[in-house]
Amino acid sequence: MFNPDNLPDSLLTLRQNADAPEVFEVELNCLDQIKQFYDELECHLVLYPYSRKIVSKRYHFTPFEEYIRDIANRHRSAYRPISEKMNKTFGLILGGTIALFFAKFKLDDLFSVESVVSVFGAYLLGKDLWTDIDHFLINATKNYRFRYTDAYYYYELERNTTLAQYSHFARQQRYGKQQLLPQKLDFIENSNSQTVRMLFKTKDWKNSTETSAHILSLRFSPKILDLLHDEGFMLGVKWSFNRQRRLSCQHFEVFQSLHKQTPGSINEEGVWNDNAFFYRQTTTFGRLKYFASSGMVNREKSLIDYKTL
């Protein structure tokens, strides 16, 4: 298994496309080692150009930006929204409590209109109330080792269609190598930055002999390429190597960024360190997360391989 002392070089490659210089290909590496020990791989990317003339509308994470916009416009997409279960569960618990109250104290009225309306009203109230409870728990525990965390992913892959298999084959021909789609996904666009969060199942490349795979492309407007190179950008990457247990999941999380083409990381005090990475050992139980340990490691060889023309 990976630890802070044995991480392989070049976990991720950012490579400028020779045929289309405005496109940067993003590839995951070391897939053969990852699938030996882990059930899931999470990869989060955030891009923030330093030039104030470059806003988020001038570049795109493809194909995920299109997938999310298709969903927002109610078009068919490769992904679908993940339904929120906790609010429904809390609504059912509240509605069930009201139903039990009628069963114990007003048995004759259990199936009356008043009872049915009360139970249904309690269910709807519980769904809305859980949103406030959810936010309260996130804020109340954010400074503790044992925290209730926000949901990372809001979309999941639609898999079982024949057309999806043809699309997967076509993508391999298009990019000339293995191409992976995450099982779960989120995409965040702010005024100056964009973030994509991806969760991959290692079983998706269990039978593959390739050690790397294409995961997305960064497409810039050709007019801003010189600005991008001259003034620089920050590309932040988070990897999380996950091992599933019966009721929990163990995570080895690694953070490194490119700051004006220099690899490094920010420590817990917000200070930038050249040629270093930050790591965390955590365990999750659903959305409950325990932060066991963390640290900063100096490392001359970068985890991000940046290749320009």
Q: Render pLDDT for 177-236 as a digit per residue (tens, 0 to 9).
A: 788 999 999 999 999 999 999 999 999 999 899 999 999 999 999 999 999 999 999 999
Characterize the bridge pairing of strands 249-259 and 194-201.
Answer: unpaired
Amino acid 33: pLDDT: 96
Amino acid 107: pLDDT: 65
Compute the distance between CA of residue 252 and CA of residue 2 in angstroms, rounded to an integer. Answer: 8
Residue 50 has pLDDT above 90, yes or no: yes
Q: What 3-state DSSP class applies to 81? A: strand
For 231-264, what is each residue's pLDDT tens digit?
999 999 999 999 999 999 999 999 999 999 999 9
Amino acid 90: pLDDT: 74
CB-count exposure of residue 119 (10 Å: 0-12, 13-18, 19+) = buried
**Higher model confidence: residue 133 or residue 7?**
7
Amino acid 111: pLDDT: 65
Terminal C-alpha separation, the chain: 35
What letter would DSSP give residue 203? G
pLDDT band at 288 (very low <50, low <70, confident <90, very high): very high
**Higher model confidence: residue 122 or residue 13?**
13
Extract the tokens encoding 113. 């209109």
Residue partners of 165: CB distance under 8 A and separation at least 6? none
Region 269-288: mean pLDDT is 95
Residue 267 has pLDDT above 80, yes or no: yes
Compute the distance between CA of residue 200 and CA of residue 209 in angstroms, rounded to an integer. Answer: 17
Which amino acid, one-letter code, is at 149?
T
Amino acid 164: pLDDT: 63
C-beta of residue 189 within 8 angstroms of C-beta of residue 65:
yes
For 93-138, what is each residue's pLDDT tens digit?
877 887 777 677 766 666 666 666 777 777 777 778 888 888 999 9
Compute the distance between CA of residue 207 and CA of residue 210 in angstroms, rounded to an integer. Answer: 9
Mean pLDDT, the chain, rounded, equals: 89
Residue 73 has pLDDT above 80, yes or no: no
Region 265-279: mean pLDDT is 94
Compute the distance between CA of residue 156 and CA of residue 182 in angstroms, rounded to an integer. Answer: 8
Amino acid 69: pLDDT: 79
